[in-house]
Amino acid sequence: MRHTVSVLVANEAGVLARIASLFSRRGFNIDSLSVSKTERDDISRITLVVEGDNKVLEQLTKQLNKLIVVHKTSNLTNDPIVGRDLALIKVTSTQNTRSEIMQIVDIFRGKIVDVASNSIMVEVTGDEDKINAIEKLLEPFGIKELVRTGKVAMVRGQK
Amino acid sequence: MAILSGAEIFVESLYCEDVEVVFGYPGGAVLPIYDILYDAEFEHIMPHHEQGGIHAADGYARSTGKVGVCIATSGPGGTNLVTGLATAYMDSVPVIAFTGQVPRAMLGTDAFQEADITGITTPITKHNYLVQDVKDLPRIIKEAFHIAKTGRPGPVLIDIPKDVLTDKTEFSYPKEVNLPGYKPNYDGHPCQIKEAARDINNAKKPLIYAGGGVIISGASNELRQLAKGATIPVTTTLTGLGSFDERDELGLGMLGMHGTTEANLAISNADLIIAIGARFDDRVTGKLEKFAPNAKVIHIDIDPAEVGKRVNVDVPIVGDVKRILVKLNKVVEKNNREAWLNQIKEWKLLDSKQEESREDKKLSAKPIIEEIFNLTNGEALITTEVGQHQMWAAQFYKYTKPRSFMTSGGLGTMGYGFPASIGVQVGNKDSAVFALAGDGSFQMNIQEFATIAKNKIPVNIVILNNQYLGMVRQWQEMFYDKRYSSTCLRKREECPPDCSSPSSNCPEMIPDFVKVAEGYGIKAVRVTEVEEVRPALEEAINSSEPFLIDCIIEEEENVFPMVPPGGSLDKMILKGDQS
C-alpha cells in the first residue's frame, strides 16, 4: 500500500542527509520525496510517498520521530488531503501534431510554457493519476524529457 | 560576561556539566583544546588508541550512570571512534565524543586529516553536530549532554573545526535546552498500565524479561518489588544482568542463545511475558515464530520504535521503566503462584544436572569465574570482551546488583572490555574491577596496557586463554564440520593445513601474555591448574596495581546450553548432547 507522510523538520544543514540515511539503512522504499520551506523560517516540510504495509509504515514513522531534527511526522494517507504533483513534459511536435497536443494540454488544464521548432514543453499540475493520464496521452507523440516534483500534500480545513 | 575562546568554552562547559574525567587523545586539530586542558581541573586520561578512549568513556558511563566524555582529533582520530560509538549506540550508553575538525575554510577540500565524521557517524549516534560558529558551542554542548543522558540514552558526537576552537565570544552556559523535536515520553499511559496490571493479575505463568533498560532507569528495586510481590520469575538479557539478584529463587539468569535451561523453558511455556527495558534481540528470541508461543506480551520501553519492532505486543507501555513500575506496583495484586514456581524449580534442576567436574583436571572457565565471585563476595565489577569467555562470564558469575557487568551486548565488540575496565575503575576507585578477556579479543586493544601501567589503574585482567577464537571455533565445530578456518591462534606456516584439533606438537601461542605484560611493567602470572587459581586471584585483588592472570584453559570447551542460530528457545543443545 502507498502512504503519504508529511514530516516537519528543522531547517538546518544535513537534515535531508539524516533522513535519507535512515531510509537506506532501514530498507524503506521511497516513491517520491519533496522538501520545501514552510510558513516558518526555521521549519521545512518533507512530503514522502512510501510503499509498504502498516507495520513498515509504523516503524518508519517511529524511526523518523527518533531523529532530533524531526519535529512532527503525520501519516496523511487516510486524511482528507489535497495532494499535488507538478510535471514538466517536453513533447516532440511537428506542425501536424502541435494543435492536437495543445488540445490535450487544454483538456488537462495544463500550460504550454515553451515552444521550439520540434518540441513543446508542457506544465501540468494535479494529483498523481491526472499526471499519469496526460503522460500516457502524450507518449505516442514522443516524450523527449520528463520531470516531476513528487507529491506535496496538505490536509483540508483545520487541523 | 567573559570573552572566551572556543577551547576555553569547551572546558568551562564541561565544568558546568560536572564532568570528572575525560578520555582523550591529542592531535593537530584539537591542539587548542589540549592547551587549555594543560591547566584543567578535571582528570584527563590518555588512552593509547582513540578506540580505547571511547570504550573507557563507555565503561565509565555504564558503571556510574554518568555521561562518559572522550576527545579525538580530526580524520583518523574521529574514524577510530566509530566502533566505540556504534557499541555505545547499540547498548544505549550516554557518551559524548568531541572531535577536532579542519578549519571551516578547508571543509570539503580533502584537507590533511579531514574526514566527514558527522556524515560517517549519523547512523551510529543518537545525534551529532558540526559546530559552525563559536557562539553555538555552549548551546550545543548543553543539548548534547541533555540528549545523551535523557530518554533512551545514547552517544552524541560534536565535531569542532579548529578555528572555532580559537574564535572568541562571550560565554554563558544555557540553563535550559530548547529542542522541539525531542520530547521523550516518561510517564506511560495510565490505561495501559491498568491493562497490564489486569493481565498480570490474571496470568498463571507470567515471566519478567528484564533488559538493560531496567539498569539505565535505576529501577532494580521496583523490579524486585514487582517480582517478589506477585511471585513472577525474572530472566534477564545480557545487558540486563544485575538488574535482579540472581541468587533469589525467582532469578532465572540469562535467556536466549546461551541462556539457562530454566529461562528458555519458562519463556516457551509462559502465558504472559512482561518485557521491561528490553528489545527482543535475535540472540534473545531465537526463531521469532516460536518465541513465547503461548504468551501475551506486555512491553515497557522508553523508545516507542522498539515496541512492536520484532514481536507483536498486546499491551505496549511507552515510558520510563522506573516510573511505570512504581505505578504498576500499586495495582498489581499479591499472588504466590505455587504451581508455576514449582515448575520453575524443576527446570532449575535440569541445568545443575549437566554440571560435571572435569575428569582430565584441565582448567576450565567455570571455577575461575566462580572464584572471582567468592573472593569479592560478588562485589566485583566485571567487564568482558566478546565470545565464549563473555558467555561464561554471563553464566557463571552471579550478578546481584545493577551496573556490575559491562559488556558489549548489541554490537558484540571484541576489544571493548579491557579499555572499558579502565573507565570502570576510574569511576569506581574503591571497587575490584575485573577485565575478563579471551586470548583473541584481548589483543584487539592490548595497547591499553600502557594506559593502566602509566596511570596505575589497578584493574585485574583475567585472560581465559584457550588459544582459539573460541566462539567462532565452536560454530565451526558444530556447523562447519570442524574446519577450523583462521580460528587457531597458535597456527603457523609449518602447521598441517587441515589441522582440526590441538595436540602436544602444537607450537607456542604468540604472544606470551605474561611477557607482554611484563614489558609494560605489569605484574603477571600464568595459571594452568585449578589449585593455582585462588592464590593468583588473591594476589591480584590484594595488589593495588594492575595485574594480569593468563589462565590456560581447555582448548575445545564449548558454551552450553546453546540454541542453534535460527532455532527455537525450547530446543537447546545441552552439554551432554555434544558427544
CATH 3.40.50.970 range(s) for chain B read 3-170, 365-552
Give the pLDDT of residue B376.
Answer: 98
- Among B122, B147, B181, the residue with its CB nearest the CB of A10 is B181
Q: State how far the Cα of B300 lies from the Cα of B359, in Å rounded to an integer.
A: 46
Q: State how far the Cα of B572 lies from the Cα of B565, in Å rounded to an integer.
A: 11
The H or E element spanning position B231 is none
Between chains, do A66 and B303 touch, taking CB under 8 Å as contact?
A: yes
B13: three-class secondary structure by DSSP: helix
Give the contacts of B101 (CB within 8 A, at least 6 positions apart).
B29, B74, B107, B114, B117, B130, B159, B160, B161, B162
Tell me the nearest-neighbour CA distance from A91 into chain B, angstroms. 40
- The backbone region for B295, taken as left when phi is positive above 0, alpha when psi lies in -120 to 50, beta otherwise, is beta
Assigned C-alpha cell, B54:
571511547
Phi, psi of B472 (to 5 degrees): -65, -40
For chain A, the structural domain boundaries read 2-75, 81-155
Q: State how far the Cα of B259 lies from the Cα of B351, in Å rounded to an integer.
A: 10
Give the pLDDT of residue B1.
Answer: 77
Between chains, do A65 and B118 touch, taking CB under 8 Å as contact?
A: no
A149 interfacial to chain B (CB closer than 8 Å): no
Q: Which one of B112, B309, B345, B379 is the catalytic residue? A: B112
Q: Which one of B126, B142, B162, B322 is the catalytic residue? A: B162
> To the nearest whole percent, how much of chain A has pLDDT over 70?
99
Q: State how far the Cα of B18 lies from the Cα of B67, in Å rounded to an integer.
A: 10
Distances in Å between the Cα of B345 and the Cα atoms of A115, B63, B266 are: 86, 32, 11
Q: Which one of B12, B17, B50, B477 is the catalytic residue? A: B50
B162 is catalytic: yes
- Quick one: DSSP state of residue B205? S
Q: Which one of B20, B46, B66, B113 is the catalytic residue? A: B113
Q: Which residue of A has its CA nearest to B144?
A: A68
User: Which neighbouring-strand residues pair with A146?
Assistant: A89
Interface A–B counts its CB contacts (< 8 A) at 39
- CATH fold label, B365-552: Rossmann fold (3.40.50)
- CATH fold label, A81-155: Alpha-Beta Plaits (3.30.70)
Between chains, do B122 and A17 touch, taking CB under 8 Å as contact?
A: yes
Domain B3-170 CATH assignment equals 3.40.50.970: yes
B360: three-class secondary structure by DSSP: coil
Set of chain A residues whose Cβ sits within 8 Å of the Cβ of B126: 68
CA torsion B513-B515-B516-B521 (nearest 10°) is 130
Check for a shared fold between A2-75 and A81-155. yes
Please state the ipTM of this predicted complex: 0.90
CATH class of the region A2-75: alpha beta
Distances in Å between the Cα of B64 and the Cα atoms of B112, B215, B266, B319, B341 are: 37, 11, 32, 22, 34
* Among B85, B81, B95, CA closest to B49: B81
First to last CA, chain B: 75
* Among B42, B36, B45, B39, CA closest to B6: B36
Set of chain A residues whose Cβ sits within 8 Å of the Cβ of B147: 68
Instruction: Report whether B113 contacts B50 (CB < 8 A).
Output: no
Between chains, do B127 and A55 touch, taking CB under 8 Å as contact?
A: no
Which site among A26, A62, A63, A67 would you substitute to test the B interface, given the most B Cβ atoms closer than 10 Å to its Cβ?
Answer: A62
Task: Scan residues 52-91 of A and list those with Cβ closer than 8 Å to B.
Answer: 55, 58-59, 62-63, 65-71
Between chains, do B308 and A67 touch, taking CB under 8 Å as contact?
A: no
Q: Between β-strands B168-170 and B3-5, what pairing exists: parallel, antiparallel or unpaired?
A: antiparallel
pLDDT in single tens digits along all 579 residues of chain B: 799 999 999 999 999 999 999 999 999 999 999 999 999 999 999 999 999 999 999 999 999 999 999 999 999 999 999 999 999 999 999 999 999 999 999 999 999 999 999 999 999 999 999 999 999 999 999 999 999 999 999 999 999 999 999 999 999 999 999 999 999 999 999 999 999 999 999 999 999 999 999 999 999 999 999 999 999 999 999 999 999 999 999 999 999 999 999 999 999 999 999 999 999 999 999 999 999 999 999 999 999 999 999 999 999 999 999 999 999 999 999 999 999 999 999 999 986 655 555 566 789 999 999 999 999 999 999 999 999 999 999 999 999 999 999 999 999 999 999 999 999 999 999 999 999 999 999 999 999 999 999 999 999 999 999 999 999 999 999 999 999 999 999 999 999 988 988 998 999 999 999 999 999 999 999 999 999 999 999 999 999 999 999 999 999 999 999 999 999 999 999 887 754
- CATH fold label, B190-352: Rossmann fold (3.40.50)
B354 is catalytic: no
Q: State how far the Cα of B61 lies from the Cα of A71, in Å rounded to an integer.
A: 29
The H or E element spanning position B437 is strand B433-438
Assigned C-alpha cell, B125:
549516534
Q: State how far the Cα of B423 lies from the Cα of B67, in Å rounded to an integer.
A: 11
Tell me the nearest-neighbour CA distance from A148 into chain B, angstroms. 28
Q: For B483-517, b where at least 16 C-beta lie within 10 A, e where not — what string? A: ebeebbbbbeeeeeeeeeebeeebeebeeebbebb
Tell me the nearest-neighbour CA distance from B245 into chain A, angstroms. 33
Assigned C-alpha cell, B93:
550508553
pLDDT digits (tens, 9 = 90+) for A63-108: 999 999 999 999 999 999 999 999 999 999 999 999 999 999 999 9
Between chains, do A69 and B304 touch, taking CB under 8 Å as contact?
A: no
B113 is catalytic: yes
CATH 3.40.50.1220 range(s) for chain B read 190-352
Assigned C-alpha cell, B43:
582528570
pLDDT digits (tens, 9 = 90+) for A47-75: 999 999 999 999 999 999 999 999 999 99
B112 is catalytic: yes
In sign, the C-alpha dihedral spanning B511, B512, B514, B520 is: negative
Interior angle at CA A123, CA A118 and CA A129, nearest 5:
115
